Structure 1
Amino acid sequence: MNYAHLKEELIEYSKTIGIDKLGITTADPFLSLKDRLIAQQENNFASGFEHSNIDERVDPRLSVQQARTIISIAVAYPSKLKNPPKSLPGKRRGFFSRSSWGVDYHDVLNERLKKLEAFLEARCGPEAMMRMVDTGALSDRAVAERAGVGWSAKNTFIITEEFGSYVFLGNLITTIPFPVDKPLEDLCGSCTKCIDACPTGAIVEPGVLNAQVCLSYQTQTKGFMADEFRSKIGNHLYGWDTCQLVCPYNKKIPQPAHKEMEPDPEKVKPLLLPLLSLSNKEFKREFGHMAGSWRGKKPIQRNAIIALAHYKDQTALPKLVELMHDDPRPVIRGTAAWAIGKIGDSKKEENELLIAKKREEDQEVLEEIDKGLTLLGFAVEK
């Protein structure tokens, strides 16, 4: 079989099914990546969301024994919201990052990869193949870099020449011996805008991210958010885009025409107060199709409370008092108590916090109540 010709056919077919860029690399181990991953763990920079087995992350043949090549795909996503609803006093809104606009990209890319599989099986027979989108063993970025889809930028994203870094990545490991592509030149040069703009210093050096202090990671945690991050996330409910927004390669890029990626403005900039009353069923119905829903409603609702505190939205106080007294989840009770202290300015809020303190048994919630009282100027006994 003429695999060079098959590759050309594959690239042309990929364009018809909504794949914006395709590159191919060998299935050889990613040896230099292993050292970086070990250092990441030793420095406690990992988020904990990564695949746990480092050997599987760097050696494709531990996933597909006879693997010869890896197909890397990129699907561009929009970065501009058309007609965004305004956040107004009494009707404050939160924000989902661009990676959560439209239908969950895991589903979108998996469907496109399935079509590539079917295309190749029709021409090559039952070759061994494995799809991976974000949650697989391999590093999507390492594969994309070696396959020439883009270069690995200082902000740790892959930057493509055509779409900047606003691309989702996916892989297809295969036993087909395709000709491979060459990596692209790193064009970041001396630019450090992403590093300079990071509000927590999470990009500790070019290409090295401390995920533990990245605000995108912080919005996805389920416990209490550390005070140092509450003051920085603003109205963000999920994810963080600053290190992409400041990148020169993301200026004046074309907006892709993928229907699945088109954002619903009311979903990506939702009203904050209604979020706090959603049941699990309602949350799944309203937001379950979005990538930002993967951790469930609790982190989103916690972040919504922090956002209301950021706005100092006094219309939220009755709901926050209700949550502090009645919500079964300690993280929500405690965060609500802290937010009451941030927003409130009267004896009424102080009394509500003192009532909650007498009833509360959870130690972390009690600490948050004390924070709220201190913010109101009440002298808390230590």
Structure 2
Amino acid sequence: MNYQQLKEEIIAHCKEIGIDKVGFASSDPFLEMKSRLIRQEELGYQSGFEEKDIHKRVTPSAIFDEPYSIIAIALAYPSKMKQTPIGKKGARRGIFCRASWGRDYHAVLRDRLEKLEAFIVSKAPHARCKSMVDTGELVDRAVAERAGIGWSAKNCAIITPEFGSYVYLGEMITNLPFEPDEPLEDQCGTCTKCLDICPTGALVQAGQLNAKRCISFLTQTKDFLPDEFRTKIGNRLYGCDTCQTICPKNKGKDFHFHEEMEPEPEIVKPLLTPLLQISNREFKEKYGELSGSWRGKKPIQRNAIIALAHYKEASAVPELITVLEKDVRPVIRGTAAWALGKIGGEEAKAALLAAQETEQEKTVLDEINKGLAFFLTENEVNS
């Protein structure tokens, strides 16, 4: 079989089915990545969301019988909304990161990979394929880098010359012997803007991320957010784009190729206060198609409370008091208590003092005390 011709046909077909970039790589083990992952694990820098078995993450033959090639794909997503709602006093808004705009990208990329797989099998009936997106065993960035999709940048993203880092990645292992493409040369140069601006110092050095300090990871956790990060997440409800928006390679990059990826402004930049008491059903109906909903409503609500505190949004105090008094989840009650102290005012203080007398959960009592401490600090400053 003429595999070079098939490769060219695959490249042409990718354009027809809505794949913006495709590359081919060998299925050799990713030995350099293995060393990096082992070091990350030793340092405690992993998020915990990854595949636990490092061998599987870097060894295609451990997850696929007799692999020969890996096909990497990239789809470009928008970086700007066409009509951006503006938050204001009394109507503050949160934000979902760009990678969570539109329909869940896992579903979009799986659709493209399924179509690509069907095409390959129609041309080569003996072909075997295994596709994956994000939650698969292999490290998407390592595959994309080897396949020439883009270079691995200092902010740990893959940057493509055409679309910047605003791309979703996926890959397909196959038993077909395609000629591999050449990796791209690193084009970050001496630039360190992403390292310098990271709000939490999660980018330890070029190409090394402490995921547990990354705002993108922190917004997905379900427990109390550690104190040091509460003033760092701003109005982010899910994810963080700071190291992307600062990147010079992303300047002017904004692509609207895929209808499924178009953001609904009121969904991805929603009013904060209505989120505090949204039901499970309402949350699923409104936000269920976003990739940012995968952890459920609890992290989003906690982050919304922190965002209201960030804005010192006094109009939200009655809603926060209701949460403090009635929500059954300690994390949400406690975060509301902290936020009330941060926002301040006599109504908030009275609610905290009342809750101090009735609250039974120690973690919530700790947060109530943190909230009351803000008033003490305020009085000390005034005196």
TM range (shorter): over 0.9
The residue type paired with residue 376 of structure 2 is G
1:309 matched to 2:275? The reply is no
- The 10-residue stretch of structure 1 (161-170 or 353-362) with the greater mean CA deviation from structure 2: 353-362
| 1:253 CA displacement | 2.1
CA distance in 2, matches of 1:176, 1:126: 9
CA distance in 2, matches of 1:378, 1:246: 35
Q: Which residue of 1 aligns with 2:32?
A: 32
CA distance in 2, matches of 1:117, 1:26: 18
Gaps of 5+ in 1: none
- Partner SS state of residue 374, structure 1: helix
Q: Which residue of 1 aligns with 2:354?
A: 355
Verify the 8 A CA contact 1:25 1:69 in the aligned structure 2: yes
Deviations along 1:226-255, whole A, 9 cap, x unmatched?
Answer: 111110111100000010001111012242
CA distance in 2, matches of 1:59, 1:238: 31
Q: Which residue of 2 aligns with 1:373?
A: 372
The alpha-carbon distance between structure 1 residues 318 and 210, as it changes in their structure 2 partners (threshold 3 A), is same
Q: Which residue of 2 aligns with 1:292?
A: 292
Verify the 8 A CA contact 2:218 2:225 in the aligned structure 1: yes
Deviations along 1:181-218, whole A, 9 cap, x unmatched?
Answer: 01000011111011011111111110000011111111
User: Pairwise mapping of residues 57-68 of structure 1 onto structure 2 (< 5 A)?
Assistant: 57-68=57-68
The residue type paired with residue 142 of structure 1 is A
CA distance in 1, matches of 2:377, 2:270: 34
The alpha-carbon distance between structure 1 residues 317 and 132, as it changes in their structure 2 partners (threshold 3 A), is same
| 1:74 CA displacement | 0.3
Q: Which residue of 2 aligns with 1:203?
A: 203
User: Pairwise mapping of residues 170-181 of structure 1 onto structure 2 (< 5 A)?
Assistant: 170-181=170-181
- The 10-residue stretch of structure 1 (251-260 or 26-35) with the greater mean CA deviation from structure 2: 251-260
| 1:126 CA displacement | 4.3
Number of matched pairs: 378
The residue type paired with residue 374 of structure 2 is L
Q: Which residue of 1 aligns with 2:148?
A: 148
Verify the 8 A CA contact 2:202 2:210 in the aligned structure 1: yes
Verify the 8 A CA contact 1:104 1:291 in the aligned structure 2: yes
CA distance in 1, matches of 2:332, 2:140: 34
1:217 matched to 2:217? The reply is yes
Q: Which residue of 1 aligns with 2:381?
A: none
CA distance in 2, matches of 1:40, 1:268: 32
Verify the 8 A CA contact 1:102 1:262 in the aligned structure 2: yes
Report the TM-score when normalising by structure 2.
Answer: 0.97
- Partner SS state of residue 277, structure 2: coil
The residue type paired with residue 221 of structure 2 is T
CA distance in 2, matches of 1:325, 1:277: 12
The residue type paired with residue 148 of structure 1 is G
Q: CA RMSD in A?
A: 1.1
CA distance in 1, matches of 2:109, 2:268: 20
- Partner SS state of residue 377, structure 1: helix
CA distance in 2, matches of 1:248, 1:226: 32
Verify the 8 A CA contact 1:64 1:128 in the aligned structure 2: no
CA distance in 2, matches of 1:349, 1:54: 49
The residue type paired with residue 375 of structure 1 is F
Verify the 8 A CA contact 2:356 2:365 in the aligned structure 1: yes
Deviations along 1:302-328, whole A, 9 cap, x unmatched?
Answer: 000000011111111111001111101
Q: Which residue of 2 aligns with 1:113?
A: 113
Q: Which residue of 2 aligns with 1:324?
A: 324
User: Pairwise mapping of residues 1-382 of structure 1 onto structure 2 (< 5 A)?
Assistant: 1-346=1-346, 348-377=347-376
| 1:127 CA displacement | 2.2
Deviant stretches of 4+, over 6 Å: none
Deviations along 1:144-180, whole A, 9 cap, x unmatched?
Answer: 0000000000000000000000000001011111111
Verify the 8 A CA contact 1:312 1:343 in the aligned structure 2: yes
- Partner SS state of residue 190, structure 1: coil
The residue type paired with residue 360 of structure 2 is E
CA distance in 1, matches of 2:5, 2:377: 75
Verify the 8 A CA contact 1:24 1:71 in the aligned structure 2: yes
Verify the 8 A CA contact 2:22 2:72 in the aligned structure 1: yes
Verify the 8 A CA contact 1:70 1:171 in the aligned structure 2: yes
Verify the 8 A CA contact 2:77 2:254 in the aligned structure 1: no
The residue type paired with residue 292 of structure 1 is G
Deviations along 1:66-103, whole A, 9 cap, x unmatched?
Answer: 11000000000000111101101111100000000000
Verify the 8 A CA contact 1:72 1:171 in the aligned structure 2: yes
CA distance in 2, matches of 1:239, 1:373: 30
Report the TM-score when normalising by structure 1.
Answer: 0.97
- Partner SS state of residue 25, structure 2: strand
Identity of aligned residues (%): 58
Verify the 8 A CA contact 2:256 2:262 in the aligned structure 1: no
The residue type paired with residue 353 of structure 1 is L
- The 10-residue stretch of structure 1 (185-194 or 121-130) with the greater mean CA deviation from structure 2: 121-130
- Partner SS state of residue 367, structure 1: helix
CA distance in 2, matches of 1:294, 1:126: 36
- Partner SS state of residue 376, structure 2: coil
Verify the 8 A CA contact 2:79 2:254 in the aligned structure 1: no
Verify the 8 A CA contact 2:46 2:212 in the aligned structure 1: yes
